[in-house]
Amino acid sequence: MGRGSGNDQLELHAAARSGDLNAVQSILSSNLLAINSRDKHSRTPLHLAAWSGHAHVVSYLCKQKADVGAAAMDDMGAIHFAAQKGHLEVVRILLSSGVSVKTSNRKGLTPLHYAAQGSNLELVKYLVKKGASLAVKTKAGKTPLDLANKEEIRLFLEESEHSSKNRDLNPREEAEESNPKLLFPDKPESGSSEAPVIKDEGEQEDEKEKRKGNEVEISPVVVFCSTQEIEDTVVSL
């Protein structure tokens, strides 16, 4: 058990569990060391308040510097207890107080695993939005989707997994997946399968010079005929 008198600890644990904020404040005002005291299951007042869903008590304990990362039996943290019971507001407070959304207990269960087993879809959505891993597995090899009980939670997790995979694709892969023609382009209609060669201006000028060198210059032929020869030609026609 943590430091502090036995009576204070028992009273503080009972007050945290029941949500009696006035009693919690009164005890801690005279014995602040009792804030992280533990019961026989190694639970602190924060664990009990989180399990019971008393957001106002959880908020006060966090402000009084309670150990938000303290682990009870099986490495259960306050956020695991809150997620297991579906207490969204408590989870919000704990995450804003520095608890990791990806923290796991001895069995490898994360807050999302516990939330998926429950019935609070909004809690599941919130944890995913905050970066909870969809692919993380428990020691038994189960993902949050594997543990989902309600159909609406299962569908949401499936859609989230699909969206996550699409975000992981680089722009080229994403374009290829949406347009198979980029992977298997149509053959060009012309007979040649080779891409046209684009030549720069220098190469084009060289080609012109080569063509000029190969051309045969034909000079005009001037024929001088006398008037009589022309007349003879006309007559013969």
- Segment 160-196, tens digit of pLDDT: 999 877 765 555 655 555 555 555 555 555 444 444 4
108 neighbors 76 (Cβ within 8 angstroms): no
| Residues 95 and 106 reside in one and the same domain | no
| Residues 8 and 91 reside in one and the same domain | yes
- Segment 121-146, tens digit of pLDDT: 999 999 999 999 999 999 999 999 99
Whether residue 200 is predicted with pLDDT greater than 70 in this model: the reply is: no
What was the pLDDT predicted at 197? Answer: 46
In a domain, 157, yes or no: yes
Mean of the per-residue pLDDT values of the chain: 82
What was the pLDDT predicted at 31? Answer: 95
Chosen domain end from 52, 80, 99: 99
Structural domain range at position 45? 1-99
What was the pLDDT predicted at 173? Answer: 53
As a whole number, mean pLDDT of residues 7-34 equals 96
95 neighbors 128 (Cβ within 8 angstroms): no
Question: Which residues are CB-contacts of 112 (< 8 A; sequence separation ≥ 6)?
Answer: 83, 101, 124, 127, 128, 132, 133, 134, 136, 144
| Residues 113 and 163 reside in one and the same domain | yes
What was the pLDDT predicted at 208? Answer: 58
| Model confidence pTM above 0.95 | no
